[in-house]
Amino acid sequence: MVKFPNLPLQKRSLQYAAAFTALPATLSSGLHLAWTSPYLPLLLSKDSPIPMTNDESSWVATMYMAGGPCGALLSGALLDRVGRKTILLSSSLAIFTTWIIIAFATTIQELLVGRFLAGFCDGLIFGVTPIYFGEIADAQIRGRLGCSIAITFEIGSVLMNVIGSYLSIRQSALVCSAIPVLFFVTFIWMPESPNYFLIKGETEKAKRCLVALKGENIDDTMSAISSATAEESLNRTRCASLFKKVNRRSLFIVVALRLTQQFSGVIAFTFYAQTIFREAEDAISPLLSTVIFYAVQLTFLLMNSQLVDRIGRRPLLITSTIGVGAALFAEGTFFLVRDVVELDTTAIAWLPVLILIIFIISFGLGLQTMPLFIGSEIFPPNVKAYAAAISDVCYYAFAGMSSKYFQFAKDKYGMYVPFFSFAFCCTIGLIFIIYFVPETKNKTLEDIQIELNFLQQGERSSHPNGSMKFHSEQHFQK
C-alpha cells in the first residue's frame, strides 16, 4: 500500500479527495457505454472502417454487457482478498488496454474483444466503487458521493456523443486512453478502505486510515466497524450466509431494483439514442437531441446528489418510477398513433424528444442511482462482496436482455411496443418499491445492519436509534 501523509485536512476533505480521484474510472465506463451511440451508425454506413451487418452491429453493442458479469464476479471474489484500492488501480491498466484495442481494431472480431474487455472493466469498477465510497464516507455525505458515480458516468456519455461526432474511432479511442492514466497517477495516493484492513485483521492500518479520513476522534467509529466486522466474520461460510433470511430479503430488494431499473429501457435508449431521435424526423438533429438527452440527465443527477441525503432514498425512488412510467406510456402512445392509427404527426415530430427528456429527468431523480448504492448499504461486511457481484451480474444480464428486446420489438412490431412494455415493468416496480424498499438516509452502515436484524427478530420498537421505517412491516415478517 502506498503511504499517504496524515495531513491536517479539514474534516471530510480526504473523503472527497478519495472519491474524486476514483471517478475517472466511472468516467471511462460512461465513455465505453455510450460509444455505440455515435459509432454504430458509422459502422453500418457505406463508409464504415469495419463493414458489418445490422445483426453484427447489435453484438458490438451487447458484447459490452457480456463482459460485465465476468468483471463483476471477479471483483466479488477479490474484494476481500486484495482490497478495494488494488482492484481499482488494476482496472486502470485494463481500461487503457481496451482503448488501444479499439483504436487499432481492423476486424469485427478485434472490435468485439475490445467491447467485451470494456464491459469486463465496467464490472470491476462498479463492483468495487460503490462499496469503497460507502466505507470511506460519513453517513451524512454517503448518498452524495454515491450520486457522483452516476454523474461522472453521464459526463462520460455526453463526452462520447460529442467527440464521436467529430473524431474517428481511432482518434477518440486514443484520446480516451489518457483517462485511465490520469486515474492511476492520482488515485494511487489515496487510502484503502478501513473495513478491508479490519476484515484482514490489520487493526493498526485500519486506525490509520480512519484518522486520515475522519479525524482524530475515531474511537466510536472504530468500535462500531470492528464489532460489525467481528460479528459477521464468525460465519466462515460467507457466500452461504448471503442466503440467511435477513440477507435473502436484502438480496431480493437489490435484484428487484436492478430489474426495475433496466426494464425502464434506459440501456436500450443509451445504446440507440441517435437512432431513437431519428424517429423524430427532421424536427431536430439527432446529435443535438442526444446531447440534450445526456445534458438534462446530468443536470438532474446533480440535483439528485443534493436531495438524496435530505429527502431520502424512498421518496426519490417512488417519484422517479412514476415519472419514468408516465413518460414511457406517453412515448408509446405517440408512436402508436403515428405508426398504427397513421395520423399525421408532422407538426409534433419533436414530441418524442420532449417526452424522452421528461423520461431522463425522472430516471435521474432516483432509478439511475438508488439501486447502485442502496445495494452497498444494506448488506453486512461478510457478504457485501458477493452481494455486489450478484447485483452487478443482474445489472448486465437485465441490461443485455432489455437492449436486445428493444431492438427485436422495435423491428418486428414497431417502436410503440417496447415503450408500452417498459411502462408496464415500471408499474410493477413501483408497487414493489412502495411495499418493500427501506429508507437508509443518514444511517451508518453499522446502524443499518443492527436495525435490519432487529426487524428480522420482530423487535424494531426496542432499538434505541429508531427503525428502518419500512412502509409495510407485515410484508417483511413473511
Look up the CATH number of the domain holding residue 305: 1.20.1250.20
> Within this chain, do residues 438 and 360 fall inside the same structural domain, yes or no?
yes
- Domain-terminating residue out of 134, 157, 192: 192
What pLDDT is stored for residue 460 in this prediction? 43
Alpha-carbon radius of gyration of the chain: 22
> Within this chain, do residues 136 and 260 fall inside the same structural domain, yes or no?
no
Do the domain assignments include residue 6?
Answer: no
> Within this chain, do residues 387 and 266 fall inside the same structural domain, yes or no?
yes
What's the start-to-end Cα distance of the chain, in Å?
Answer: 46
CA distance 343 to 36: 32
Q: Which residues, 6+ apart, have CB-to-CB distance to 204 below 8 Å?
A: none
Q: Is 156 left (phi over 0), alpha (psi -120 to 50) or beta?
A: alpha
Do the domain assignments include residue 372?
Answer: yes
CA distance 448 to 371: 16
Note whether 416 and 340 are within 8 A (CB).
yes
What pLDDT is stored for residue 217 in this prediction? 62
> Within this chain, do residues 254 and 403 fall inside the same structural domain, yes or no?
yes
Count of domains forming the chain: 2
Q: Is 466 left (phi over 0), alpha (psi -120 to 50) or beta?
A: left
> Within this chain, do residues 313 and 433 fall inside the same structural domain, yes or no?
yes
Do the domain assignments include residue 262?
Answer: yes
> Within this chain, do residues 54 and 158 fall inside the same structural domain, yes or no?
yes
Do the domain assignments include residue 66?
Answer: yes
> Within this chain, do residues 177 and 263 fall inside the same structural domain, yes or no?
no
What pLDDT is stored for residue 468 in this prediction? 45
What pLDDT is stored for residue 322 in this prediction? 96
Residue numbers of the domain that contains 245: 241-442
What pLDDT is stored for residue 287 in this prediction? 66
What phi and psi values does residue 257 have, to the nearest 5 degrees? -65, -40
> Within this chain, do residues 319 and 435 fall inside the same structural domain, yes or no?
yes
> Within this chain, do residues 294 and 187 fall inside the same structural domain, yes or no?
no
Side-chain-side CA neighbours of 449 within 13 Å: the count stands at 19
- Domain-terminating residue out of 154, 175, 192: 192
What pLDDT is stored for residue 277 in this prediction? 65
> Within this chain, do residues 56 and 147 fall inside the same structural domain, yes or no?
yes
> Within this chain, do residues 415 and 269 fall inside the same structural domain, yes or no?
yes
What pLDDT is stored for residue 454 in this prediction? 67
Do the domain assignments include residue 456?
Answer: no
Do the domain assignments include residue 464?
Answer: no
Do the domain assignments include residue 214?
Answer: no
Q: Can you state the percent helix, strand and coil of the chain, rounding each to 5?
A: 75, 0, 25
> Within this chain, do residues 136 and 68 fall inside the same structural domain, yes or no?
yes
What pLDDT is stored for residue 274 in this prediction? 59
What pLDDT is stored for residue 218 in this prediction? 62
- Domain-terminating residue out of 160, 192, 224: 192
pTM of the predicted model as reported, rounded to 2 decimal places: 0.75
The gap from C-alpha 21 to its chain's centroid, in whole angstroms, comes to 18
Question: Could you tell me how many helices (H) and strands (E) the chain has, helices first?
Answer: 23, 0
Q: Report residues of the chain scoring pLDDT below 70.
A: 1-11, 216-240, 267-287, 289-290, 454-478
Do the domain assignments include residue 152?
Answer: yes
Q: Which residues, 6+ apart, have CB-to-CB distance to 41 below 8 Å?
A: 274, 275
